[in-house]
């Protein structure tokens, strides 16, 4: 069963459950209205429960195929709200509500017009495998250099030297990106047009990086139309090319967006969860607001979808609670509610909200609204928490990650290693080749670390040419072995400058919180001391707690 069939089956089960819910709730609502006291305040509690029930029906009915029932429930909700605000409930009002509930029961048996199911294709793709790069290159020597460099960064490279060969495989979905060398060719514009046609035949166009000795406007326009996201002149700076390739894949999408859905209507929340899951988003539901903050700390959401009206709590109140913690200022709160009154919507937004989505909402509209919000939120989070040159965590944020992982290691008795990494003789790189080239070296090491380490590992730029890596569930011996493999790969990278090619190296110190001591204090200082020892031993090496007992 494919994903589309699974989603369709899941939504059908939820729709059946909603119909059963209507068959239970509507008779109970009718009984509740007929037994409604005719005096105030005796009717107050019953009217409040009725308003909450009608609000839930108004938000969910349209989504499950009963738009007329949802509209009528919304109309009755406003009638009940007016009675509560006026603190009155006479016989005429009571009879009007009874007639309205009878109409709801009649609409239950009307034809359903359920929202079309969401598309099977996810809005974003999570890739947890080596990226496959197709390369069209007729210069054998340069092709080998390019392949070696990209494989050092963890990519899988497939070389093609003829157009016929490339065209045969380009329509498949195996590739993640294409690097195409047009330099020295008189037919570059024609080749770009062919590339554009091939891209149009694919289900999803490939990120395209071009190498060319042309830079004129006409050529660049053709390159963009063919899907180019990078254009490099010859001779090619391979580290800069890899950096562009990294940006093409965009680490913002390296893991699914995390959506926290706060709604007391569990049936509707489960439908939203199924729809957003089908679009490659992770969704957790909080139906009890009392555990909201606890779930936020554990789940770390990118976006919070919040119903406005819930029994005993309001969405704006919960949003204001969230905003009391500075750590959650970056996370947008999007109200998802059947509330249509513009004044009430505005008041809710003024109280810590960021956006408003009105129920009912189609599956596609829900995906698009949540995806765009999550994407902007993660962009903002990265801008605030990540170093602009490398995209790694900033000094304060990586130190916070160290504390979190050390605390977790001590609690779970699973090891964690801390590594301090420093580029050797970096000042001489800046002095000899210039700061722009030095920045390329820093970016190259950042990308190499990111490619070679695991998704669960945390990386930060500690300052200048110095980095910190946090490796959960990793002993010091394993951390040293992994970093030594990365060190060898970094040694082999070839950097280019106006006055020639050169290589760089790095040194690292590793400490670990592991059995038998489970010592959490001083681990960063210990890693730094071992980095100093690595430099004193001649640089271009790794020193860890596996090598020394005292430093």
Give the distance from CA 50 to its chain's centroid. 39
Sign of CA dihedral 74, 79, 84, 89: negative
Could you give the CA distance from residue 79 to residue 36 in angstroms, rounded to a whole number?
Answer: 15
**Is 232 within a domain?**
yes
Same domain, 357 and 418: no
**Is 9 within a domain?**
no
Is pLDDT of 358 > 60? yes
Is pLDDT of 170 > 80? no
Same domain, 400 and 532: yes
**Is 268 within a domain?**
no
Instruction: Mark which of 367, 385, 403 sits at the end of a domain.
Output: 385
**Is 163 within a domain?**
yes
**Is 466 within a domain?**
yes
Same domain, 353 and 381: yes
Q: What is the pTM of this model?
A: 0.61
Provide the 3-class DSSP secondary structure of residue 306: strand
Quote the pLDDT of residue 176. Answer: 86
Least confident interval from 69-83, 110-124, 289-303: 110-124
Same domain, 213 and 318: no
Same domain, 403 and 486: yes
Question: What would the pLDDT profile of 94-127 be if each residue is shown by its tens digit?
Answer: 899 999 999 999 999 876 665 545 444 444 444 5
Provide the 3-class DSSP secondary structure of residue 484: helix
Long-range contacts from 375-381, C-beta under 8 angstroms, 24+ separation: 375/252, 375/257, 376/332, 377/302, 377/303, 377/330, 377/331, 377/332, 378/252, 378/257, 378/302, 379/252, 380/330, 381/302, 381/330
Same domain, 307 and 336: yes
Same domain, 162 and 198: yes
Instruction: Mark which of 385, 419, 436 sits at the end of a domain.
Output: 385
Confidence of residue 370 (pLDDT cuts 50, 70, 90): very high
CATH number at residue 348: 3.40.50.2300
Q: What is the mean pLDDT of residues 244-271?
A: 81
Could you give the CA distance from residue 433 to residue 427 in angstroms, rounded to a whole number?
Answer: 10
Same domain, 347 and 446: no
| Count: domains in the chain | 4
Quote the pLDDT of residue 483. Answer: 96
Confidence of residue 128 (pLDDT cuts 50, 70, 90): low
Same domain, 473 and 360: no
**Is 277 within a domain?**
no
* Mean pLDDT over each residue of the chain, to the nearest integer: 86
**Is 94 within a domain?**
yes
**Is 152 within a domain?**
yes
Dig out the tokens for 514 from the structure: 């592991």
**Residue that wins the pLDDT comparison between 116 and 385:** 385
Same domain, 146 and 248: yes
Same domain, 427 and 529: yes
Q: What is the mean pLDDT of residues 46-53?
A: 89
Instruction: Look up tokens 């006291």; give the residue.
Output: 37
Q: What is the mean pLDDT of residues 224-236?
A: 87
Half-sphere exposure of residue 464: CA atoms within 13 angstroms, side-chain side: 12
Is pLDDT of 438 > 90? yes
Instruction: Look up tokens 């070696």; give the residue.
Output: 148
Confidence of residue 187 (pLDDT cuts 50, 70, 90): low
Is pLDDT of 196 > 60? yes
Give the domain range for residue 357: 284-385
Is pLDDT of 87 > 70? yes
Question: What would the pLDDT profile of 441-472 be if each residue is shown by its tens digit?
Answer: 998 999 899 888 988 899 999 999 999 999 99
């Amino acid at each position: 069963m494919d994903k589309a069939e699974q989603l369709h089956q899941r939504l059908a089960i939820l729709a059946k459950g909603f119909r059963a819910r209507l068959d239970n709730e509507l008779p109970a609502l009718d009984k509740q209205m007929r037994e409604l006291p005719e005096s105030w305040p005796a009717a107050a509690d019953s009217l409040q429960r009725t308003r909450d029930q009608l609000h839930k029906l108004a938000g969910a009915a349209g989504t499950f195929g009963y738009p007329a029932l949802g509209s009528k429930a919304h109309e009755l909700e406003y009638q009940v709200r007016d009675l509560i605000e006026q603190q009155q409930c006479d016989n005429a009002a009571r009879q009007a509500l009874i007639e309205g509930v009878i109409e709801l029961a009649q609409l239950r048996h009307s034809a359903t017009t359920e929202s079309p199911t969401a598309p099977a294709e996810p809005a974003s793709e999570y890739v947890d495998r080596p990226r496959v790069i197709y390369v069209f290159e007729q210069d054998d020597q340069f092709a080998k250099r390019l392949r070696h460099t990209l494989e050092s960064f963890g990519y899988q490279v497939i070389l093609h030297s003829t157009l016929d060969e490339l065209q045969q495989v380009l329509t498949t979905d195996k590739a993640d990106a294409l690097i195409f060398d047009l330099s020295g060719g008189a037919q570059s514009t024609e080749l770009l047009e062919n590339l554009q046609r091939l891209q149009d035949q694919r289900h999803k166009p490939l990120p395209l990086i071009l190498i060319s000795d042309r830079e004129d406007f006409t050529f660049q326009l053709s390159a963009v139309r063919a899907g180019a996201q990078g254009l490099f002149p010859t001779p090619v700076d391979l580290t800069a090319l890899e950096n562009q390739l990294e940006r093409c894949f965009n680490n913002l999408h390296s893991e699914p967006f995390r959506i926290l859905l706060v709604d007391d209507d569990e049936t509707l929340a489960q439908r939203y969860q199924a729809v957003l899951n089908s679009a490659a988003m992770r969704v957790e539901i909080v139906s009890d607001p009392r555990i909201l903050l606890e779930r936020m700390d554990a789940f770390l959401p990118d976006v919070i979808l919040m119903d406005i009206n819930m029994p005993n709590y309001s969405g704006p109140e919960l949003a204001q609670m969230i905003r009391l913690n500075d750590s959650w200022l970056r996370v947008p709160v999007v109200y998802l509610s059947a509330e249509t009154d513009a004044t009430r919507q505005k008041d809710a937004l003024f109280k810590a909200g960021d956006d408003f989505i009105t129920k009912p909402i189609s599956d596609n509209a829900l995906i698009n609204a949540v995806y765009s919000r999550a994407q902007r939120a993660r962009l903002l989070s990265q801008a605030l928490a990540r170093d602009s040159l490398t995209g790694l965590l900033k000094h304060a944020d990586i130190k916070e990650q160290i504390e979190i992982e050390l605390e977790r290691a001590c609690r779970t008795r699973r090891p964690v290693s801390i590594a301090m990494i420093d580029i050797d003789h970096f000042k001489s790189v800046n002095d000899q080749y210039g700061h722009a080239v030095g920045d390329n070296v820093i970016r190259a090491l950042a990308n190499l670390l990111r490619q070679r380490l695991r998704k669960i590992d945390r990386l930060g730029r500690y300052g200048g040419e110095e980095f910190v890596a946090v490796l959960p569930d990793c002993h010091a011996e394993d951390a040293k072995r992994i970093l030594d493999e990365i060190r060898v790969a970094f040694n082999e990278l070839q950097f280019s400058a106006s006055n020639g090619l050169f290589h760089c190296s790095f040194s690292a110190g590793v400490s670990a919180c592991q059995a038998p001591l489970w010592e959490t204090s001083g681990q960063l200082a210990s890693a730094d001391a071992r980095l100093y020892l690595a430099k004193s031993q001649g640089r271009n090496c790794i020193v860890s707690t596996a090598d020394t007992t005292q430093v």
